[in-house]
């Protein structure tokens, strides 16, 4: 956890209703997806940090996926962060497939562990392939190989299938030693994804939950606007629409960061910030720059 996340947690106020909703998501089986939505600066990332902390308190395994700060935030970046968090060993078939799509002359490889008589890959056709080790790759953002011409649409479909299949195996292995409690995948900053990646993620997550291809995983998605849902999806989705902070919570926040808080300051912050947490925090920053001695210990 970064210091910034720790500070966010320390100064966190309000959102009891949303945290309670998240606890229900963890404890009960009705909902599989929690969508945290709201305008920019409303505190989605702070709430997600609080929910991550809640997972930590309950010793739940989790994965955090977030915008890397700058550059592309596409489906490969999402996969990369999950691979990094859970370990490459679980994603060898996916890495092999990525190699196949990006490394010239790369031949897909399979490792066979035979125990008795089994029927291997009944309908598969292997052409010019050899059996051996898989090259572990880490950079999943290299250009597609020049000696092949696989349309992006096909690459996305095949990589997604493999990704969710590997993720399922990883989740099964990793949650077994933690009382089979579901793993939580947090995806923040969805609005910063490219449009196609957002659609891909939303469709893949919903599909994997609806047709149970991904078991024992729950998702928390931080996004500007809640995506469209039909009645089936509503049944498995919990939406937390964040509202601006009320005066009481703003006061609580000011008291956490400042030594002496008078009513005129509260009134000014409430009037200017309109309850937007990012604005409140920025106003406190500027206040502290002017009056550094007012910083709470």
| Contacts of another protein in 231-290 (CB under 8 A) | 233, 272-274, 276, 278-279, 281-287, 289-290
SS3 241: strand
Hey, how many other C-beta atoms are within 10 angstroms of the C-beta on 285? 10
201 close to 154: Cβ distance less than 8 angstroms: no
Q: Which is nearer to another protein, 104 or 116 (CB)?
A: 104
Collapse the DSSP code of 237 into the 3-class scheme (helix H, G, I; strand E, B; otherwise coil) and give the result: strand
1 binds another protein (CB under 8 A): yes
Residue with tokens 């950079």: 139
Q: Cβ of residue 116: shortest distance to another protein, in angstroms?
A: 26
Binding mask 17-56 for another protein (x = CB under 8 A): -----------------------xx---------------
**Shortest reach from residue 18's CB to another protein, in Å:** 20
Residue with structure tokens 């500007």?
Answer: 224
Question: Binding residue for another protein (CB under 8 A) from 113, 125, 212, 264?
Answer: 125
Spatial CA neighbour of 156 closest among 196, 211, 210 = 196
- What distance in Å separates the CA atoms of residue 60 and residue 178, rounded to the nearest whole number? 8
Query: Taking contact as CB under 8 A, which single stretch among the options 16-24, 113-121, 122-130, 175-183 is the one that binds another protein?
Result: 122-130
Cα–Cα dist 130/269, whole Å: 67
Report 175-204 residues binding another protein (CB under 8 A).
192, 194-197, 199, 202-203
Nearer to another protein, 136 or 248 (CB): 136
Is residue 129 a contact point for another protein (CB under 8 A)? no
Q: In this chain, which stretch among 16-24, 120-128, 165-173, 259-267 interacts with another protein, using CB under 8 A?
A: 120-128
Cα separation of 187 and 61, whole Å? Answer: 14
Contacts of residue 130, Cβ cutoff 8 Å, sequence gap at least 6? 107, 109
Window 56 to 75, contacts with another protein (CB under 8 A): 68-72, 74-75
47/284 with CB nearer another protein: 284
| Nearest distance, CB of residue 269 and another protein, angstroms | 9
Q: Which of 248, 145, 166, 180 is nearest to 208 (CA)?
A: 166
Per-residue buried b or exposed e for 10-32, using 16+ beta carbons within 10 Å of the residue's own CB: ebbbbbeebbebbeebbeeeebb
Task: State the Cα–Cα distance between residues 185 and 56, nearest whole angstrom.
Answer: 13
Query: Closer CB to another protein, residue 27 or residue 195?
Result: 195
| 142 is an interface residue for another protein by CB under 8 A | yes
Q: How far apart are CA 108 and CA 130, in angstroms?
A: 8
CB of residue 262 vs another protein: minimum separation in angstroms? 18
Size of the site for another protein (CB under 8 A): 79
DSSP state of 208: H
Choice from 113, 153, 177, 293 touching another protein (CB under 8 A): 153
Q: How far is the CB of 290 from another protein (least distance, A)?
A: 5
The reply to whether 84 sits near another protein by the rule CB under 8 A is yes
Q: Are 277 and 48 in contact (CB under 8 A)?
A: no
Determine the 3-state secondary structure of 65 from DSSP. strand
If one asks whether residue 296 binds another protein (CB under 8 A), the answer comes out as no
Shortest Cβ distance from residue 210 to another protein (Å)?
Answer: 8
């Amino acid at each position: 956890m970064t210091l910034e996340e720790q500070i966010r947690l320390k100064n966190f106020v309000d959102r009891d209703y949303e945290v309670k909703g998240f606890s229900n998501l963890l404890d009960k089986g009705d909902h599989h997806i929690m969508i945290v939505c709201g305008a920019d600066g409303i505190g989605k990332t702070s709430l997600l940090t609080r929910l991550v902390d809640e997972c930590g308190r309950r010793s739940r395994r989790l994965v955090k996926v977030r915008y890397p700060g700058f550059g592309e935030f596409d489906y490969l970046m999402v996969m990369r962060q999950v691979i990094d968090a859970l370990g490459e060993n679980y994603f060898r078939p996916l890495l092999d497939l990525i190699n196949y799509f990006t490394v010239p002359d790369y031949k897909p490889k399979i490792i066979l562990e035979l125990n008795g008589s089994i029927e291997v890959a009944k309908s598969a056709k292997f052409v010019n392939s050899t059996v051996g080790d898989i090259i572990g790759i880490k950079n999943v953002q290299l250009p597609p190989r020049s000696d092949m011409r696989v349309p992006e649409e096909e690459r996305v479909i095949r990589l997604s299938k493999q990704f969710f299949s590997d993720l399922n195996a990883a989740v099964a292995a990793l949650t077994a030693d933690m009382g089979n409690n579901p793993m939580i995948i947090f995806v923040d900053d969805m609005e910063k994804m490219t449009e196609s990646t957002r659609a891909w993620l939303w469709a893949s997550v919903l599909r994997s939950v609806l047709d149970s291809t991904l078991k024992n995983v729950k998702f928390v998605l931080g996004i500007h606007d809640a995506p469209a849902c039909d009645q089936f999806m509503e049944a498995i989705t919990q939406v937390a629409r964040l509202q601006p902070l009320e005066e009481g919570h703003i006061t609580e926040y000011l008291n956490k960061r400042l030594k002496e808080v008078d009513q005129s300051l509260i009134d000014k912050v409430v009037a200017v910030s309109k309850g937007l947490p990012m604005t409140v925090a920025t106003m406190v920053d500027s206040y502290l720059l002017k009056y550094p001695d007012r910083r709470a210990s």
